Amino acid sequence: MRLAHEQELDAAQDVVWANFMDLHRIGRCFPGAKVTKVDGDDFVGEIKAKLGPLSMYFDGTGSMVERDESGGRARLTATGQERHGLGRATIDITLKLRPVGTGERTKAHLVTDLVFLGFPMDFGTGLVQRASDPLIERFLTCMSVAGPVPDAEADDDGSLDLVRSATDLFGSFRRDRRERKRR
């Protein structure tokens, strides 16, 4: 499945670029993720996701396979295996940055190709796109902050809460529906 996100960030392109090149920071900025080891452009990490009362842990490896600073383009690939199950995931993320206006702001375009095998959720692309929007918005905002990573608005245990994301999503469907009825 292919997901696309675009956001204008309150930071110059060089700040956002530097943050994306820091593989540890990428792990600290994404809810539930942690990069545990970096060796050049390669990394090892984990992600913890909650699905209701169930917690799922994925261990994985990845690489920054493309870096074009002058073109503002980078590509990262990763694969992960569920620790206590048969789930597997592969992800390919392409980032494109461009300055906005006088260069004090940056437009970030993120395209994610995602494949889940044996994963316990079989949602359509539209649903996943909408559910992922707030997560990617938080991630990109974190990537635009100069200096140390700010404290995340994470759950008590720092995991990615898939039910909360889906609940937020379904709440937005209800609001959209109420607004259409009022018209």
| Average pLDDT for runs of 10 along the chain of length 183 | 90 95 90 91 88 77 96 95 84 94 94 75 53 74 82 49 47 51 61
**101-117: burial string, b at 16+ Cβ within 10 Å, e else:** eeeebbbbebebebebe
pTM of the model: 0.74
Contact criterion met (CB below 8 Å) for 66 and 75: yes
Rounded CA-CA distance 80/10 in Å is 32
User: What is the reported pLDDT for 169?
Assistant: 43
Q: Which domain holds residue 121?
A: 2-182
CATH code for the domain of 86:
3.30.530.20
User: What is the reported pLDDT for 112?
Assistant: 86
User: What is the reported pLDDT for 128?
Assistant: 53
User: What is the reported pLDDT for 135?
Assistant: 72
User: What is the reported pLDDT for 20?
Assistant: 94
User: What is the reported pLDDT for 84?
Assistant: 82
User: What is the reported pLDDT for 59?
Assistant: 94
Residue 18 has, within 13 A of its CA and on its CB side, a CA count of 11
User: What is the reported pLDDT for 1?
Assistant: 80
Residue 28 has, within 13 A of its CA and on its CB side, a CA count of 17
User: What is the reported pLDDT for 178?
Assistant: 54
User: What is the reported pLDDT for 33?
Assistant: 86
Q: Count the domains in the chain.
A: 1
User: What is the reported pLDDT for 104?
Assistant: 94
The per-residue pLDDT for range 125-168, each reduced to its tens digit, is 555 555 566 777 888 888 888 888 765 544 445 555 544 444 44
Nearest in space to 19 (alpha carbons), one of 100, 134, 97: 97
User: What is the reported pLDDT for 150?
Assistant: 60
